[in-house]
Amino acid sequence: MHIPVLQKEVIEYLEPKPNKNFIDCTINGGGHTLAILEATAPKGRLLGIDWDENQILNLKSQFPPAKFRSRLILVCDNFVNLKEIVKKQNFKQVQGILFDLGLSSWHLEKSGRGFSFLRNEPLDMRYNPENPLTAEKIINYWSEPEIERILKEYGEEKYAGKIAEEITKERKLKPIKTTQRLVTIIRKSVPLKYQYFKIHFATRTFQALRIAVNSELENLKIVLPQALEILKKRGRLAVISFHSLEDRIVKNFFREMFLEGKLEILTKKPIIPNKKEIKINPRSRSAKLRAIKKI
């Protein structure tokens, strides 16, 4: 089950009120969406976006038809196309927008697309099957310097050079097609002590590949200005990020727009989960919530 991260805090900063319209740009398992719909009853509408059609289909089967479906619009698309989606759906008077940039439990546990290094699956890592780029293509066809670059840039992996070198060496013997084989290669590339750190030694490599496959950071940079433009005056925008690269993009954008007098920053420091939430949902431990109000 997908557990929504920082749900209480999201509601606190977005301030959903009866009959107001909201957008959830990363609807995932629908936890935040459900809470917003309950707060905006009886006539508030919510536009939910997800790049993965499976997530949309799951939500359609789960949401109580009589209670919410008339107020919930679901769209399978990349949030990078936010302005176009809003125009197509004629979705106006937007009071709040949410981005939860975390990977859903469904992707890790049930998608079979190689997001988790704990399962032996094909090296896919695409949110949407129509995306032509896969992790397997990066691993087997990108140059060693390019692989090293994304591991450094997107994964902040200190052994990026050695891992990239080992990948290019191994793929000459046999194409690298599964997560298990990639984990074995990473293990060979890093010092023994690195394999026993609190964070799994393959975490940063898998993160980097997922980000590269789905253009996550580039898309975030493109969509934030769109979100601010779409919001009504005094509307609110909340973003939950899960690693420093995402958080830096959000922080810098908010600061830049604040200096231009376009918004008020509601979270002087990022809001993080408390110990109780981390205990219930360990995946929430790296979450950071930032929120603003449009001026």
CATH, range 112-214 = 1.10.150.170
Place of tokens 């008339």: 70
Roughly what angle, to the nearest 10 degrees, separates helices 31-39 and 7-14?
A: 40
- Which of 84, 74, 88 lies closest to 29 in space, CA to CA? 74
Cβ atoms of 176 and 81 closer than 8 Å: no
Taking the CA atoms of 108, 13, 255 and 95 in sequence, report the sign of the dihedral they define: positive
pLDDT in tens, 213-238: 999 999 999 999 999 999 999 999 99
What is the CA 46 to chain-centroid distance, rounded? 19
Shortest CA distance to 249 belongs to which of 279, 266, 225, 230? 225
Q: How far apart are CA 246 and CA 146, in angstroms?
A: 21
pLDDT tens track, the chain, 295 positions: 457 899 999 999 999 999 999 999 998 878 899 899 999 999 999 999 999 888 888 887 776 656 677 899 999 999 999 999 999 999 999 999 999 998 777 778 888 899 999 999 999 999 998 999 999 999 999 999 999 999 999 999 999 999 999 999 999 999 999 999 999 999 999 999 998 888 899 999 999 999 999 999 999 999 999 999 999 999 999 999 999 999 999 999 999 999 999 999 999 999 999 999 999 988 888 999 999 999 9
Tokens describing residue 3: 């557990």
Q: Note whether 190 and 162 are within 8 A (CB).
A: yes
Report pTM: 0.93
**Domain residue ranges in the chain:** 7-106+216-294, 112-214
CATH superfamily, with its number, for domain 7-106+216-294? Vaccinia Virus protein VP39 (3.40.50.150)
- What are 41's two structure tokens? 């009853």
